[in-house]
């Protein structure tokens, strides 16, 4: 399992979410990240999901 980082922000820059997601690959991490954002109703907030290699897998501004 790899560890990915999911972060969401308010428009003023305050962090509202900073969680690690465990997944076996990028596709699974992206699915879990999207599900977590939906669960917390944060899909429209600025957010990002980064891989252990520093790749940006999800981004919304």
61 residues of the chain, pLDDT tens digit each: 999 999 999 999 999 999 999 999 999 999 999 999 999 999 999 999 999 999 999 999 9
Torsion of CA 46, 38, 28, 49, to 10 degrees: 10
- Domain positions in the chain are 2-60
The conformational region for residue 13 under phi > 0 = left, psi -120 to 50 = alpha, else beta, is left
Give the number of C-alpha atoms closer than 13 A to the C-alpha of residue 35, restricted to the C-beta side. 7
Q: How far is CA 22 from the centre of its chain?
A: 11
Strand, coil or helix: what is 34? helix
């Amino acid at each position: 399992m790899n560890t990915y980082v999911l972060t969401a922000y308010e428009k003023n820059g305050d962090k509202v979410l900073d969680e690690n997601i465990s997944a076996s690959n990028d596709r699974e991490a992206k699915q879990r990240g999207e599900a977590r954002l939906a669960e917390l109703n944060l899909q429209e907030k600025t957010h990002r999901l980064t891989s252990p290699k520093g790749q940006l897998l999800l981004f919304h501004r």
